[in-house]
Amino acid sequence: MKAIIAGGGIGGLTAALCLVHFGWDVEVLEQSPELGDVGAGIQLSPNAMKVYAALGLAAALERAAFRPEAISLRMGESGMRLLSSALGKKAEVRWGAPYLHCHRADLINVLQEALAETGAASVSLGQSVQAYRQDGDDVNVQLASGEVRQAAVLIGADGIHSVIRAQMLGSDSPVFTGNVAWRAVVPVARLGQHAPEPAATAWMGRGKHAVTYLLRGGQLANLVAVVERDDWTMEGWREPGDKAAALADFDGWHPIVTRLLEEADTLYRWALFDRPPLAQWTDRHVALLGDAAHPMLPFMAQGAAMAIEDAWALAAHLSRNENKTDALVAYQAVRHKRASTVQAASRANAKTFHQRTLAGQLKTYGPMWLAGHIWPAIGRMRQDWVYGYDVVSALASD
């Protein structure tokens, strides 16, 4: 059985590895001339790492990544710590897998090398999928070059602007959230005493927030800084932004945040759009995965993790059901509620992070500070439903 995957990002490559794991041949079609990503970090939470452990990639990712010591919440201007919850070995014991921070390019490299070693998958670059047609039991995939490729199933892992989704469901109407995000990766050696702590730290403030953490064994620092504004509505991830504008957005903030902005060689910014959950992810022998199926805001750091979970669920269902249509419908059934719940939680976190008034800050952050001092483990407990989930074991027991 052969599958074609449109999209060679994290979701597409992980899906390819999962399908090969279950005995499929796979072709990945990626429109870019090379695999990779503009410099950015990714949080590989334990729910995602359980999939990579099942694929035999945990050790390789540990070598490439950074293991944070804690999750921390701080105020953006003063730096006051509201809550700190230990990760490290405690996270691994509690949730069954490590919590890692990884450079996206490093993750792509690990996935690409693993695929090459399987001998059952190919990655074709510079191949833009334009449309699909289902004839009988096969799917014909039309490329921009005019060439047609054929497979038993087609997986649309082609991101927020998915061509596969557009053909399946028509064009969508995303809603601008009023939030614009800045991204940067900076060598730690440039930051001196203002290097981020070895934690996943969220900095909260009036109408804005930032997240800092370390990558690549602690050699790099990653920044995502989100501010409410309406003068930038470009939804791409790769648009360069002006450093002076970024510094103005976070004027008066803690020097850990502002020093990262100052030292960044390039700052990227993108407008954050929201989309309601889709009712349909499949069309006979075609299925959507990751951002193509459930694009979500970055405020839970779970976008990639949901795609990784999707990849295992999809491959597992295709391996256990000879009827491909039924298998893909079952895949959507088992994934839809969880992905939609995480989408909603991501949306809600924007309000938590961006309290504008003193009353709102006291009401929201006061209990966090109190709980963090009385019961530090509460930070881990609040994440059990996300990080403790094991898609591998869940499907093995069905």
Of 244, 179, 183, 242, the closest CA to residue 213 belongs to 183
Give 385's contacts (C-beta < 8 A, 6+ positions apart).
none
Asked if residue 274 lies in contact with residue 175, where contact means CB atoms within 8 angstroms, the answer is yes
The predicted model scores a pTM of 0.93
Beta-bridge mates of residue 43: 101
Asked if residue 106 lies in contact with residue 66, where contact means CB atoms within 8 angstroms, the answer is no
Beta-bridge mates of residue 187: 220
pLDDT digit string (tens) for 35-80? Answer: 766 568 999 999 999 999 999 999 999 999 999 999 999 999 999 9
Residue 85, token pair as written in the block: 């919850």
| Gap between the terminal Cα atoms of the chain | 23
pLDDT of residue 364: 75
Give 184's contacts (C-beta < 8 A, 6+ positions apart).
39, 222, 223, 260, 261, 264, 266, 267, 268
Between CA 214 and CA 70 the distance in angstroms is 12
Count helices and strands in the chain by DSSP H and E runs: 14, 19
pLDDT of residue 376: 65
Mean pLDDT, consecutive 10-residue stretches, the chain (398 aa), reads 95 98 96 74 96 98 96 93 88 94 95 94 93 93 95 95 94 84 95 96 94 96 92 68 93 97 92 87 97 90 96 96 95 96 88 78 73 66 90 86
Give 257's contacts (C-beta < 8 A, 6+ positions apart).
76, 203, 210, 212, 223, 225, 250
pLDDT digit string (tens) for 128-141? Answer: 999 999 988 999 99
Which ranges constitute the DSSP H helices of the chain?
10-21, 46-54, 58-64, 88-95, 104-118, 163-169, 243-249, 255-263, 303-320, 324-353, 358-374, 378-381, 384-387, 391-396
Supply the DSSP symbol for 197: P
- Cα separation values, 41 from 106, 108, 267, 281, Å: 9, 12, 13, 28
pLDDT of residue 88: 87
pLDDT of residue 381: 76
Between CA 291 and CA 293 the distance in angstroms is 5
Give 313's contacts (C-beta < 8 A, 6+ positions apart).
331, 334, 335, 391, 395
Between CA 212 and CA 205 the distance in angstroms is 14
Between CA 224 and CA 184 the distance in angstroms is 7
From the candidates 99, 213, 331, 387, which is the catalytic residue? 213
177 sits in which H/E element: strand 175-187
Q: Is residue 207 classed exposed, middle or buried when 0-12, 13-18 and 19+ CB atoms within 10 A define those classes?
A: middle
213 annotated active-site: yes
Of 189, 8, 223, 183, the closest CA to residue 101 belongs to 223
- Cα separation values, 260 from 211, 266, 350, Å: 11, 11, 22
Q: What is the CA radius of gyration of the chain?
A: 21
Between CA 223 and CA 298 the distance in angstroms is 13
